[in-house]
Structure 1
């Protein structure tokens, strides 16, 4: 019985001291940032809202991943590819059965080590855009050509 109590006490103390610190969880927004897109009127060039927006992204598998519908939106966060591809294709439309515009986001990536819990995050630099299919979106403007966090708008889509 004496050895059993010693075994239980050793297991309890082992579990108590083996708990990790705060760096085990990446909760302070230090992961790979998403790209923030805003919307402007093509006629006036002033920022505004879009009543309905459907976004899909091709992450390199050849199929589009639907990011869903948003209503009355002034900006949207889009996750970019995290592999070593130099671009991400984004598909935007304003109606469910409507035509879509294809926007290609070109960039260079840089890997930055954050912590043991978060691992490595990607930052995007030298951001450029190409409007491949100009149907709904008339023009694309780059406002900030690097993505380090999700606070500032990187590109504007002109409708």
Structure 2
């Protein structure tokens, strides 16, 4: 009987200390949102499906390839999370083709979310600028929603 009470006490204490919030999981879009890019044709500005798109981003230590996607109408791209006021994004439609550079200028605001998620950055006053020396394959750009709170709205349109 003595061992049974001891076992019940140990189980109770184990349950007591194991109960807690799930702070180690960052769910339901609580993390830093990414920028949504969609595509249009230059002639009539209708939405376009891009056959293949290669994206690279300069996060401050050189270009990082985000890979190729095929037959897409939009792409989600993570921006820099340091204190830099801009992110350079490079787009190309073929593996060895020419690329267009778009500099995304913005201001950031940090908000504490939870111990598991840490700090969430939101981007405001988005001002994308197409490098005039690299107008192939992207001919022009068009601004969508000029702040990033979540990944629902398109922030940048690339015109091909």
TM-score calculated relative to the size of structure 2: 0.90
Q: Does 1:65 align with 2:64?
A: yes
TM-superposed CA distance for 1:11, in Å, is 4.9
Between stretches 95-104 and 128-137, larger displacement belongs to: 128-137
Partner Cα distance (1:129, 1:74) in 2: 19
**Structure 2 regions of 5+ residues with no counterpart?**
none
Q: Deviations over 1:109-137 (max 9, x none)?
A: 00012223222100000000111122211
Partner Cα distance (1:14, 1:83) in 2: 43
Secondary structure at the residue paired with 1:97?
A: coil
Secondary structure at the residue paired with 1:76?
A: strand
Partner Cα distance (1:44, 1:118) in 2: 42
Partner Cα distance (1:56, 1:14) in 2: 51
Counting only pairs closer than 5 Å after superposition, residues 126-145 of structure 1 correspond to structure 2 as: 126-132=125-131, 133-145=134-146
Secondary structure at the residue paired with 1:83?
A: coil
Determine the structure 1 residue equivalent to 2:22: 22
Q: Deviations over 1:11-65 (max 9, x none)?
A: 543432233213432111110000000000011111111000000111011x211
Matched residue count: 157
**Structure 1 regions of 5+ residues with no counterpart?**
none
Q: Which runs of 4+ in 1 moved over 6 A?
A: none
Partner Cα distance (2:12, 2:143) in 1: 56
Partner Cα distance (1:50, 1:35) in 2: 18
Q: Deviations over 1:56-102 (max 9, x none)?
A: 111011x2111111000000000000001000010100001111111
Determine the structure 2 residue equivalent to 1:53: 53
Secondary structure at the residue paired with 2:30?
A: coil
TM-score calculated relative to the size of structure 1: 0.90
Determine the structure 2 residue equivalent to 1:39: 39
RMSD over aligned Cα atoms: 1.9
